[in-house]
Amino acid sequence: MKIYGPVPSWRLGNSLGVDLVDAPKGYSKACPFNCLYCHLGHKGAQVSEPVPMNLPSKDFDILEKKINEIKPDYITFSGQGEPTLNLNLGPAAQRIKEMCDIPIAVLTNACFASRKDIRANLDNCDVVIAKIDAPTQQLFEKINNPAKGIKLADIIDGIKLINTKVCIQTLIFSYANVTNADDETIDALLEVYRDINKSKPIEVLLGTATRPSDDNGILHPIDSKKLSEIAGRISRESGIKIRYFSENEQKKVNRNIVQDQLRTEITDLLLRRPCTRDEIISRFNGSDAAIVLDKLVDKGVVGLKVLDKKNYYVVL
Ligand code: SF4
């Protein structure tokens, strides 16, 4: 289990990341999907069998210390691995609840949501942020590249049975000639939201590709005007509560930590999430984050990727 961040999140504020699933050595992630826009890149291990993974007690001690130090808005299961691959997700959430009353979120692709044991794990969290980027199996396969046999219909049916709060997260973007931003797809997505909302009231979180991948410039976010138009339409036509991505000023997190620890923390964060310079420095306000970041760049540990004319630091 790896604790990283706090991560700047437009959905969750200052979120402290907990990664329950290690990426196998030499791979950038462990996930049953390989989404076109994935900011972890496309050199992933397509793992599609959940198993119980060990969660050492000492990691919970580290987590408790960091919670007390940072006082995050959320503790979030996310990272280099799809969190539901670890069948100990539920016990991990229970253990965190014993140490604090900070809400727990889980970012998931919901590909195992049709399984009762997986839903029981998710129900230990306060909010499940489940990914649906496409309204049809055909577009789902193009955008999310799921492992063989994963059906969008099963994901939708599974989400309806989750008891805890559910937000559906959709990223609207284009990648070469694939997009989900066209009117026809938005109409069909609206139907999917309505269908789920009838059984399980949801909130929709509409984002775009805001972090770079390894796509050689063919990944494009949609502009904020179009995103707000789509969000307005979904809200008007479905009555479902919706929030959409907008650039927020970085909330600072005051942390006075030594350079050695900073180096580890910045690297752990960037391994899981490309960040802008401002985002990194605001996470470690009061420490030597800028100096450490520049040293990591000089040593070739960290480098820059560009998306939409914006520079992001990533681990090389
Ligand atoms: S589900 Fe998340 S981690 Fe997995 S490929 Fe898609 S974006 Fe990447």
Alpha carbon 244 to its chain centroid, in Å, reads: 15
Q: Is the CB of 219 under 6 A from ligand 1?
A: no
Where in the chain are the domains? 2-244, 259-315
248 has pLDDT over 80: no
Q: How far apart are CA 18 and CA 67, in angstroms?
A: 11
Residue with tokens 């775009």: 208
pLDDT for 108 equals 98
Residue with the bigger pLDDT between 190 and 308: it is: 190
**Ligand 1 pocket: which of 34, 35, 144, 169 to mutate (most atoms within 8 A of CB):** 35
285 has pLDDT over 90: no
pLDDT for 296 equals 98
What average pLDDT score do residues 268-285 get?
94
Per-residue pLDDT band at 256 (split at 50, 70, 90): confident
pLDDT tens digits along 180-213: 999 999 999 999 999 999 999 999 999 999 999 9
Alpha carbon 62 to its chain centroid, in Å, reads: 22
Per-residue pLDDT band at 7 (split at 50, 70, 90): very high
Q: How far apart are CA 190 and CA 224, in angstroms?
A: 19
Contact status, residue 114 vs residue 154, Cβ threshold 8 Å: yes
Q: Which atom of ligand 1 is nearest to the CA of 33?
A: 5
Superfamily of structural domain 2-244: Aldolase class I (3.20.20.70)
pLDDT for 64 equals 97
pLDDT for 286 equals 85
Q: CA angle 26-293-14, nearest 5°?
A: 85
Q: How far apart are CA 210 and CA 308, in angstroms?
A: 8
249 has pLDDT over 90: no
What average pLDDT score do residues 58-66 get?
97
Query: Domain 259-315's class?
Result: mainly alpha
Name the nearest CA neighbour of 184 among 219, 135, 241: 135
Q: How far apart are CA 123 and CA 287, in angstroms?
A: 37
CA 276–ligand 1 middle distance (angstroms): 20
Q: Which atom of ligand 1 is nearest to the CA of 32?
A: 4
C-alpha neighbours within 13 Å on the C-beta side of residue 108: 31
CA 34–ligand 1 middle distance (angstroms): 6
pLDDT for 8 equals 84
Q: How far apart are CA 246 and CA 176, in angstroms?
A: 24
Q: Is the CB of 35 under 6 A from ligand 1?
A: yes
228 has pLDDT over 90: yes
Calculate the CA dihedral of residues 214, 215, 216, 222 and round it to 10 degrees: -120
Residue with the nearest Cα to atom 5 of ligand 1?
Answer: 34
Q: How far apart are CA 307 and CA 220, in angstroms?
A: 8
